[in-house]
């Protein structure tokens, strides 16, 4: 079956980032740098790598620096140009040409489901992708491409899933899966943030979704759930009663930058992978481990 090509992505970025205070008091959490790039740039680049060039970022108050980041900055470009820093000029300019980026404000923080619903007018009657800004995917792990190829095959929604330690499952949406093939399950049920004893499995939803447009009808009807918020997970639960929803399972390359320990992991691992910083940084880390005696006994 030939499916409509997915060309649109929605990135909810309206949250207040309270897990990362005080850094997020006066700057959006999406602008926190991982090595030398703000977290949101990794997410936009991932969408672009997967062939998506129309991106809607759902923002809120105090998020103007996001728009500035993906815009031209003539003063800076002029300054760099004058000093012959042509590579820097190219890098800064390229950000404004990365994709067609649109912005809409959520207004009230009523939950992730509500943030996605705000995208309805822009997305219209088309399939689309949702990428959560807290989750960064390493280039080694082409999850979105894998999900889109499942969408192309079946024409149905696809949710990214990872096995979690069961004691952490209460931080995630959690599914009851039925195996279809390698890395592919059919989702039979989904619950938001269950206690470990009630969890239907240890498969947690991570922040990548491909949706058929019918998700908007479900979001319209969904009632506030966990935390009094309009939950995307609850709308997925309604969707899977109407049409098959698939899960794409994968095992590595995801960093939750909204959590301090994972933010540190992301910074270290992504720096190690870089050609320009990797060799020096790896040497530093192994010296550090040796000096502190972390491997002794
Ligand atoms: C959100 C979703 C949850 C999902 C998680 C992935 O929760 O509601 O279903 O598992 O993102 O990171 P949040 O992290 O915003 O609490």
Task: Identify whether the C-beta of residue 166 lies closer than 8 Å to the C-beta of residue 148.
Answer: no
Assigned domain for 90 exists: yes
Task: Report the number of distinct structural domains present in the chain.
Answer: 2
- Residues 214, 234: one domain? yes
Pocket test for ligand 1, best of 112, 159, 233, 262 (most atoms within 8 A of CB): 112
For residue 93, give the CATH number of its domain: 3.90.550.10
- Residues 65, 210: one domain? yes
- Residues 133, 252: one domain? yes
Q: Which residue's CA lies nearest to atom 7 of ligand 1?
A: 172
pLDDT tens, residue order, the chain (297 aa): 678 889 999 999 988 888 889 999 999 999 999 999 999 999 999 999 999 999 999 998 888 899 999 999 999 999 999 999 999 999 999 999 999 999 999 988 899 999 999 999 999 999 999 999 889 998 888 999 999 999 999 999 999 999 999 999 999 999 999 999 999 999 999 999 999 999 999 999 999 999 999 999 999 999 999 999 999 999 999 999 999 999 999 998 898 888 888 899 999 999 998 999 999 999 999 999 999 998 876
- Residues 187, 54: one domain? yes
Distance between Cα 174 and ligand 1 center (Å):
10
Assigned domain for 1 exists: no
- Residues 160, 50: one domain? yes
* Count, residues in the chain: 297
Residue 135 near ligand 1, beta carbon < 6 Å: yes
Determine the structural domain holding residue 209 and report its residue range.
8-258
DSSP notation for 38-68: EHHHHHHHHHHHTT--EEEEEE-TT-HHHHH
- Residues 63, 28: one domain? yes
Pocket test for ligand 1, best of 171, 245, 247, 250 (most atoms within 8 A of CB): 171
Return the pLDDT at 257. Answer: 86
Residue 204 near ligand 1, beta carbon < 6 Å: yes
- Residues 68, 201: one domain? yes
Return the pLDDT at 291. Answer: 93
- Residues 210, 74: one domain? yes
- Residues 26, 161: one domain? yes
- Residues 285, 177: one domain? no
Task: Identify whether the C-beta of residue 34 lies closer than 8 Å to the C-beta of residue 136.
Answer: yes
- Residues 33, 151: one domain? yes
- Residues 266, 238: one domain? no
Task: Identify whether the C-beta of residue 19 lies closer than 8 Å to the C-beta of residue 258.
Answer: yes
Per-residue tokens: 179: 């195996």
Distance between Cα 33 and ligand 1 center (Å):
21
């Amino acid at each position: 079956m030939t499916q409509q090509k997915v060309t649109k992505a929605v990135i909810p970025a309206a949250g207040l980032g309270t897990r990362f205070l005080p850094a997020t008091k006066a700057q959006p959490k999406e602008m926190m740098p991982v090595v030398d790039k703000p977290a949101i740039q990794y997410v936009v680049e991932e969408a672009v790598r997967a062939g998506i060039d129309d991106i809607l970022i759902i923002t809120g108050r105090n998020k103007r620096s996001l728009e500035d980041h993906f815009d031209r900055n003539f003063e800076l470009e002029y300054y760099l140009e004058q000093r012959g820093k042509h590579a820097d000029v190219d890098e800064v300019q390229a950000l404004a040409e990365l994709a067609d980026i649109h912005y809409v404000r959520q207004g009230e923080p009523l939950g992730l489901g509500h943030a996605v619903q705000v995208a309805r007018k822009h997305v219209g009657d088309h399939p689309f992708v949702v990428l959560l800004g807290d989750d960064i995917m390493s280039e080694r792990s082409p999850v979105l491409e894998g999900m889109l190829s499942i969408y192309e095959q079946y024409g149905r929604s696809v949710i990214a899933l990872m096995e979690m330690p069961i004691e952490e499952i209460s931080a995630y949406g959690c599914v009851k899966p039925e195996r279809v093939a390698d890395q592919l399950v059919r989702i039979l049920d989904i619950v938001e943030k269950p206690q470990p004893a009630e969890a239907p499995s240890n498969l947690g939803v991570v922040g990548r979704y491909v949706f058929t447009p019918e998700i908007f009808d479900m979001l319209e009807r969904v009632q506030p759930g966990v935390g009094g918020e309009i939950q995307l997970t609850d709308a997925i639960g309604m969707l899977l009663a109407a049409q098959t929803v698939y899960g794409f399972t994968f095992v590595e390359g995801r960093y939750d930058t909204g959590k301090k320990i994972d933010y540190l992991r992301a910074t270290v691992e992504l720096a190690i992978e870089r050609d320009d910083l990797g060799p020096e940084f790896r040497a530093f880390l192994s010296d550090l481990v040796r000096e502190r005696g972390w491997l002794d006994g």
